[in-house]
Amino acid sequence: MPKQKLNPLPSAAFQILLALVDEDLHGYGIMRQVEDQTDGRTRLGPGTLYSSIRTLLEAKLIEEVDVPADARPGSERRRYYRLTSAGRKLVRSEAERIADLLRVARSKKILRGAHV
Amino acid sequence: MFENIYAWLMRLYPSRFREEYGEEILQLFRDRARDEKGFYRRLRLWLDLVADLAISVPREYYYFEPELIGASADQRLGGLPSFVVIEGGSPRPEALLSGGVLAIVVLSTCSIFLSQAGHYTPRRTFTAASSQSHRYKDSSPFGGQASPSGTEGGNGTSLFGRSIVSGRGPRTGETNNSESGGIPPDSSESSQTQRIEDARNGGMIHAAKGYAQVDAAERGRVIHAAVANLKQYYVHPEVAQKTSDALLAHEKNGDYDAVKEGGAFAALLTKQMRDTSQDMHLDVLYSQEPLPEHPLGAIPENRERYREYIEHNNCTFEKAEILQHHIGYVKLNSFPDLSLCESTARAEMNRVNDAAAIIVDLRENRGGYPDMVMLLAAYLFDHPEYMYNPRENTTQQCWTRSPVAGNKLADKPVYILTSGLTSSAAEHFSYDLKMLKRATLVGETTSGAAHSGVFHRIDEHFGMGIPEVKPINPFSKSDWAVVGVEPDVRVKARNALETAIKLAQARLQR
């Protein structure tokens, strides 16, 4: 199978991992969560989404899980995805890396406003 | 039907990807199609899908390649390398055909939308110091924008100014001054353009979107004050009369009744005044925050802060050096007050005096004082030259004081770097040197901020800019107001320096 490089972690893959931090989601749920967490700036297209999901599955950063018990009865069968412990570790280290960058940017005063 | 179209387009993906995720992808499409109804949202859905296909299809094929190469290297038959095909070959002819058709459809759709888009009259916000009636140049040396430290410029509530919505349409590339590192903006006009998306970050969203409401009484008051100001101050009385009549006719027709937002109202008045008068310097301005009654420039503390700022920033001369091939490079981020910076400016020009060609970088220059424009232009001529300025009638000031003693730059090739940020006094400098064929402009079209009007405060929230002089433009009918100054060599601003260096080298090698 093709190997998509995850180092550096692509933005789409990072967003997907972040989306799965709180709960297991299916593809459309991930897309919506990513849209929400980026204030509508990022809408992952189907091809990009599933291409990234496949890569993350191969890297064992996420795993496929059974349909949650609280899924709507009678709804279409969907694949749900869950963050693995390796995925959680990676998303945390990536977030810390970005936080470090932000600190540097702050110290150089290139950010506008005190709130960022 | 849409699902069938998308299912057909999915055949562009490699078969293995389709087999693995085809059904999931179709399900996602169905979900989005179910939730995103209406013309706009449906259009956005299709644009998303097309963009996604354009990105993900090549990538899917691309990611198979490394494995193909890696596999072949490992496979050896009798000691000789052999090749193993993993994916079923290149895209099928029908996939290529459908890709071609898709590309044509997308391009045609984009063309149609662009041609049908109509006239977009965006508003722009800027901060202004103002008074009952004073020239822009008489106000705050900071133009009510960035603080000297450059750290307050983005919040739109700086010490010196307030947010204003103007009817003047922005050009692309106009940004918050804070992006230029807190460089004082065009202090000759005290007004400062700012991109709406930047303003949004700075908490000026309400002003930028014109959310603040105006009632019928205020609309009437503004219209009648605008009419009175036009008749009293506008340079051509007959045009003032015609424009006033047009505004009153619009009012009588009830054209303003539905306009309830301050920013939108100012934009509409501006457009109507310009349509009638054909004068792009007329402006109606809206400020959500109350406009001061006195010019901020008159406040001594502001003057003192400006002085401190330019002293700490080398009068905004960021660089003045000789590059390779004896090309002089001056990066100037404003045209500072001559009375404070004359010696610095002369010293910086002396640093490049031996250059064989000179590049003046105005890509982050938001304007400043016309006196400084004249001083720097003087170095580029060996005789007094007339510099047109739409803000002034012809005076002694409009002639450069050339030649400058000891100056060697008067006959050297000049390149000016411009961007969408380049504004006002920087446009004055660029425009005149271009028209005089003394410089080659390299970069992007400038912002189009002529700011030649005199500011008249109407009430707490509204004001207007009215040109009170009409100098004759010796070069053409119009100056750079709104439309900006076109570069001679159009390149992205970030590539302008590199391009100018190449041009200068080629010129010097002749």
Are A4 and B63 within 8 A, CB to CB?
A: yes
What pLDDT was estimated at residue B15? 84
Q: CA-CA distance, B11 to B37, in Å (whole number)? A: 25
Please, what is the end-to-end C-alpha distance for chain A in angstroms? 41
Phi, then psi, of B446 in degrees rounded to 5: -80, 180
What would you report as the CA-atom Rg of chain B, rounded to the nearest whole angstrom?
Answer: 28
Q: CA-CA distance, B390 to B235, in Å (whole number)? A: 13
Q: Which residue in the block uniquely carries the two structure tokens 């080659």?
A: B440
What pLDDT was estimated at residue A76? 60
Closest by Cα among B56, B55, B54, B6 to B31: B6
Q: Are B486 and B422 in contact (CB under 8 A)?
A: no
* Token pair of A110 as six digits: 């290139």
Is the pLDDT confidence value at B77 over 50? Answer: no
Q: CA-CA distance, B270 to B256, in Å (whole number)? A: 13
Tens digits of per-residue pLDDT, A15-30? 999 999 998 999 999 9
* Token pair of B88 as six digits: 């079923």
Chain B residues closer than 8 Å to A39 by CB: none
Q: For the ranges B83-87, B237-241, B413-417, B469-473, which has the lowest average pLDDT?
A: B83-87
Q: CA-CA distance, B457 to B448, in Å (whole number)? A: 23
B68/A contact by beta carbon, under 8 A? no
Higher pLDDT, B392 or B166: B392
Q: CA-CA distance, B428 to B444, in Å (whole number)? A: 15
Chain B residues closer than 8 Å to A51 by CB: 17, 56, 59-60, 63
CA closest to A30 among chain B residues? B28
Tell how far CA B289 is from the center of its chain.
24
Cβ neighbours for B237, distance < 8 A, ≥ 6 positions apart: B231
Interface of B with A in 383-442 (CB under 8 A): none
Which residue in A3, A33, A51 has the most chain B C-beta atoms within 10 A of its own C-beta, making it the best mutation to test that interface? A51
Q: Give the CA diameter of chain A.
A: 55
Q: CA-CA distance, B242 to B231, in Å (whole number)? A: 10
Tens digits of per-residue pLDDT, B217-270? 888 889 999 999 888 888 788 888 999 999 999 888 888 888 888 888 888 888
Q: Which residue in the block uniquely carries the two structure tokens 């700012």?
A: B194
The ipTM estimated for the assembled molecules is 0.83
Cβ neighbours for B176, distance < 8 A, ≥ 6 positions apart: A112, B153, B154, B194, B195, B198, B199, B202
Q: Is the peptide bond before A8 cis (omega within 30 degrees of 0)?
A: yes
What mean pLDDT do residues A52-67 have?
90
* Token pair of B378 as six digits: 């003087």
Closest by Cα among A113, A47, A66 to B11: A47
B360: β partners: B330, B416
Residue B350, SS3 per DSSP: helix
Q: Domain A11-107 is of which CATH architecture?
A: Orthogonal Bundle (1.10)
For B402-431, b/e burial (b = at least 16 CB within 10 A) is bebeebebbebbbbbbbbbbbbbbbbbbbb
Tell me whether strands B357-361 and B414-418 are parallel, antiparallel or unpaired: parallel
Which helix (H) or strand (E) segment is B360 a member of? strand B357-361
Chain A residues closer than 8 Å to B28 by CB: 27-28, 31, 46, 49
Q: Which residue in the block uniquely carries the two structure tokens 């890396």?
A: A97
Is the pLDDT confidence value at B81 over 70? Answer: no
Could you give the C-alpha distances from B22 to A24, A47, B47, B123, in angstroms and in order?
A: 21, 9, 20, 45
Q: What is the Cβ-side half-sphere exposure of residue B205, based on CA atoms within 13 angstroms?
A: 3
Q: For the ranges B57-61, B160-164, B228-232, B290-294, which has the lowest average pLDDT?
A: B160-164
Q: Which of B27, B56, B151 sits opposite A45 (nearest CB)?
A: B56
Q: CA-CA distance, B27 to B52, in Å (whole number)? A: 16
Residue B126, SS3 per DSSP: strand
Decide if domain B313-448+484-509 falls under CATH 3.90.226.10.
yes
Burial class (CB in 10 A: 0-12, 13-18, 19+), B323: middle
Q: Which of A28, A45, A78 sits opposite B52 (nearest CB)?
A: A45
Q: CA-CA distance, A31 to A15, in Å (whole number)? A: 9
B327: β partners: B357
B43/A contact by beta carbon, under 8 A? no
Which helix (H) or strand (E) segment is B349 a member of? helix B338-351
Q: Which of B27, B52, B150 sits opposite A109 (nearest CB)?
A: B150
Q: CA-CA distance, B472 to B244, in Å (whole number)? A: 24
Q: For the ranges B142-151, B179-188, B363-372, which has the lowest average pLDDT?
A: B142-151
Which regions of chain B carry the CATH code 3.90.226.10? 313-448+484-509
Which residue in A28, A58, A64, A109 has the most chain B C-beta atoms within 10 A of its own C-beta, making it the best mutation to test that interface? A28
Confidence class for position B298, pLDDT limits 50, 70, 90: low
Q: What percent of chain B has pLDDT over 90?
A: 22
Chain B residues closer than 8 Å to A2 by CB: 60, 63-64, 66-67
Residue B132, SS3 per DSSP: coil
Is the pLDDT confidence value at B154 over 50? Answer: no
Closest by Cα among B225, B140, B231 to B184: B140
* Token pair of B488 as six digits: 């001679």
Q: How many CB pairs under 8 A join A and B?
A: 81
Is the pLDDT confidence value at A115 over 80? Answer: no
Tens digits of per-residue pLDDT, B302-346? 778 888 888 889 999 999 999 988 999 999 999 998 999 999 999
Domain boundaries, chain A: 11-107
Which residue in B10, B19, B24 has the most chain A C-beta atoms within 10 A of its own C-beta, making it the best mutation to test that interface? B24
Tell how far CA B19 is from the center of its chain.
48
Are A47 and B178 within 8 A, CB to CB?
A: no
